[in-house]
Amino acid sequence: MPETPAIDAEDTAAENAGAFVTESAARVAVLERLVEGPAAPGEIAAERSVDAASVKRATEALRDRALTELLVTDDERVYGLTAKGERTLFFLEAEGKI
């Protein structure tokens, strides 16, 4: 009987996170922008031509999944990409999904 290939938990997590990200163009735009460095939702919306409300929802949803992190809360919310977010983006690019 052939051996069943082992399932890599990290690959599965990246695939699941990737599916979540690709359900929304705003989520994709946020991750692609944050790979360049931290940014505020308004900045992301302007640079990526995405509705500001969509970017705000996307940053919060990505933060809930630990793909982004809130870096500054004083005057303006600034988000950064987490290691999990970087892995997910890499997975999506490697799979040709974005």
CB-based burial label for 34 (10 Å; 0-12, 13-18, 19+): buried
**What are the pLDDT digits (tens) for 36-89?**
999 999 999 999 999 999 999 999 999 999 999 999 877 788 999 999 999 999
Domain extent listing, the chain? 10-94
CB-based burial label for 76 (10 Å; 0-12, 13-18, 19+): exposed
pTM of the model: 0.82
pLDDT, residue 1, reads: 47
User: What value does the mean pLDDT take over residues 26-40?
Assistant: 95
pLDDT, residue 5, reads: 46
CATH number of 10-94: 1.10.10.10
Backbone angles phi and psi of 55, in degrees to 5? -65, -40
pLDDT, residue 4, reads: 46
pLDDT, residue 74, reads: 75
